[in-house]
Structure 1
Amino acid sequence: MEKMEVPHVEHNLRSPTSPCVDLKPLENLHLCDREGTQSADSGVGELDDLPVPHQISISNITCDSFKISWDSDARGKERITHYFIDLNKKENKKENKFKHKDVPTKLVAKAVPLPMTVRGHWFLSPRTDYTVAVQTATKQADGDYAVSEWSQVIEFCTADYSSVHLNQLLQKAEVIAGRMLPLTVLYRNQEEEYFNQARDSQCHRMLPAVKDNSGSHGSPISGKLEGVFFSCNTEFNTGKPPQDSPYGPYRFQVQAEVLFNQNTNLYFGDFYCMYTAYHYVILVLAPEGSKGDLFCKGRLPALDRSNNRFLTCVEGEDGTLSFQHAQDVTLELVYTEPVDLSLGTVAAISGHQLRSSSTVNAKKDPSCKICNISVGR
């Protein structure tokens, strides 16, 4: 497959969504799995009486690809040699923008049978809104293009990571997990008001809430999975939970076997960092047959609860359970059911609140080579 054709900077393609855009060369782009494209060393000529694409259809959307097709009049069809595709991120002032991801992209492909696959992790991010429009074009003897009018502008959103991509993340996380350390309790830190509300208006229960958008941009659990977050990491020298916390000065603590046992399924949810040397792994604890368990099946990699690199639950000959956690990653556990406060204890911690360590809506470092995969954040 040849490289995708990208018009040079000195020749501006007039966009249907903006008056004029300076084009930047993008490398390693792939367009269409039927026929390659060639390098564009020429400019764009005048509008021509070529058929204008209409009834644009987007299908087979993944986190880094989509198929596009359209209808057009038969008149002048035989003169079409290329398609111009205007692909832009939909404007969102609050989105996490960075580097070349924001460059409006004009893709030029040889005319091939439709539908055509557009693929490229350098300009397509997971879970991102895009606009797309199409022109037909004919390459002339002098190297310039004659083009049709632009089609209507279509909006679509790319998909979450697939199981293939999540397994790539899982393998990367396993590499740095480190040795296993024993643990006995799971814990959740919050402000005092949180626990007061659980007692007074939630029947003494901590209720599941939708996971925020921290971590990998394409993780299927962000903004969708409901659960109660817990921690399990221990201090190396004491074997106990740390006294410091970024989430609040009060801690609910429960014996690990209450929430993690032979009736609990374990899933890998995400692996990320936040521009620091610390890496986070999100695991989902879902009681067998629960709503959360049904959500995770088929979406997330399932882990063997007694044999994995992050969090294990092993039953001894006498029926007792023992637990271990990975030393070199910070584990965030999502328990998918309500948790009754009577199952554990709530008490103030003696340490500090490390607000800078909070992961609430934290964005993943897209440049980290340890925790990123080929399809982006």
Structure 2
Amino acid sequence: MELHNVTCDSFKISWIMETRGQDRITHYFVDLNKKEDKSSNKFKHMDVPTKLVAKAVPLPMMVRGHWFLSPRTEYTVAVQTATKQPDGEYAVSAWSEIVEFCTADYSTVQLKQLLLKAEAIAGRTLPFTVFYRNQQREYFQDAQCCRMLPSVKDNSGSHGSPISGKLEGIFFSCNTEFNTGRPPQDSPYGPHRFQIQADLLFNQNTNIYFGDFYCMYTSYHYVIVVLAPSGSKGDIFCRGKLPALDRSSNCFLSCSEEEDGSLSFRHAQDVILEVIYTEPVDLSLGTVSQISGHQLMSLSTLNAKKDPSCKVCNISVGR
């Protein structure tokens, strides 16, 4: 048995059958199970086809939708056939060998669907001037050669996002308080804050990509955008995997050139932006100081699971 064209929510399946009686095959039984752990590799009711019963069609056949396959998820699959005998009875073959496979990440098609949903709620924009990153004091004291280095993104957000567990970067925020126009004094990530002028990370030499849109069983939503200097390792990773955004006119994070040549910046007001910058950042380019607010750990998105039932930020394929 062979699988082909595995996507985030579908795959094609084909297998070799005995030539004798092949023209009398009327149905395929396809038994598919999510692989819960590495040792789980058995089907429930092996003698009874409990999953999909498909009429015989030319192989390879496409399997999708019926089980609402999730992206980046391990499954096991096996098949058997039913053949109509001359006396009108049916003969059912033995189950094939069990094949393990893993579905793919969201493609740009699915990410564009997610992008449209995010754009629908992004709302108005507010001006800002700095990116900032909160951590414990030790993080900045231990920074290698006084630089913050990219690390692999965790598995928070949409299960199918191609940046989770793969893209290397540094998380920054740029959200501001409506009444002050300044970054909030509270943070879930630590009492010490590094601030850097926005134009040092986001300028005419920076490409911007849409990475994810999700919520964590709350009323507010998160949007992840990626800032990658043109031609950098991060930029090469994002090309072809993530939808590119217009630097000056997207509704999440924009950078516009004014008449005097200066740059102005705006961020979406109605979503919480998480910005991933893909290159190392020298601490000497900004300042580190202690914030006066609290550590609101409940707002942390570290390995946070996306709410699969939210109609605002889920698309029809997978979770």
2:196 counterpart of 1:254: yes
Match for residue 150 of structure 1 among 70, 92, 95: 95
Aligned 1:301-312 pairs, distance under 5 A: 301-312=243-254
Q: Is the 8 A contact 1:61 1:158 kept in 2?
A: yes
Q: Is the 8 A contact 1:88 1:105 kept in 2?
A: no
Quote the residue 2:46 is aligned against: none
Distance across 1 between alignment mates of 2:293 and 2:227 = 27
Match for residue 196 of structure 1 among 111, 123, 141: 141
Distance across 2 between alignment mates of 1:300 and 1:344 = 29
SS of 1:257's equivalent in the other structure is helix
Distance across 2 between alignment mates of 1:346 and 1:105 = 60
Distance across 2 between alignment mates of 1:121 and 1:229 = 38
SS of 2:310's equivalent in the other structure is coil
Match for residue 334 of structure 1 among 276, 286, 295: 276
Give the aligned CA root-mean-square deviation in angstroms. Answer: 1.7
Match for residue 358 of structure 1 among 300, 303, 309: 300
Quote the residue 1:23 is aligned against: none
Identity %: 79
Aligned 1:1-377 pairs, distance under 5 A: 56-92=1-37, 106-120=51-65, 122-138=67-83, 146-198=91-143, 202-377=144-319
1:263-289 Cα offsets, whole Å, 9 max, x none, are 000000000000000100000000000
Distance across 2 between alignment mates of 1:274 and 1:360 = 11
Q: CA deviation at 1:78?
A: 2.5
- 1:118 is matched by which residue type in structure 2? V
Distance across 2 between alignment mates of 1:318 and 1:328 = 30
Distance across 1 between alignment mates of 2:10 and 2:121 = 30
- Structure with more relative contact order (C-alpha pairs < 8 Å, separation 6 or more): 2
Q: CA deviation at 1:310?
A: 0.5
Distance across 1 between alignment mates of 2:260 and 2:77 = 62
Q: CA deviation at 1:76?
A: 2.5
The TM-score, its normalising length taken from structure 2, stands at 0.94
- 1:347 is matched by which residue type in structure 2? S
Which ranges of 4 or more aligned residues in structure 1 deviate by more than 4 Å? Answer: 139-145
The TM-score, its normalising length taken from structure 1, stands at 0.79
Give ranges in structure 1 of 5+ residues lacking alignment.
1-55, 94-103
SS of 1:170's equivalent in the other structure is helix
Q: Is the 8 A contact 1:121 1:376 kept in 2?
A: no
Give ranges in structure 2 of 5+ residues lacking alignment.
39-48
Q: CA deviation at 1:122?
A: 4.4
Q: Is the 8 A contact 2:33 2:75 kept in 1?
A: yes
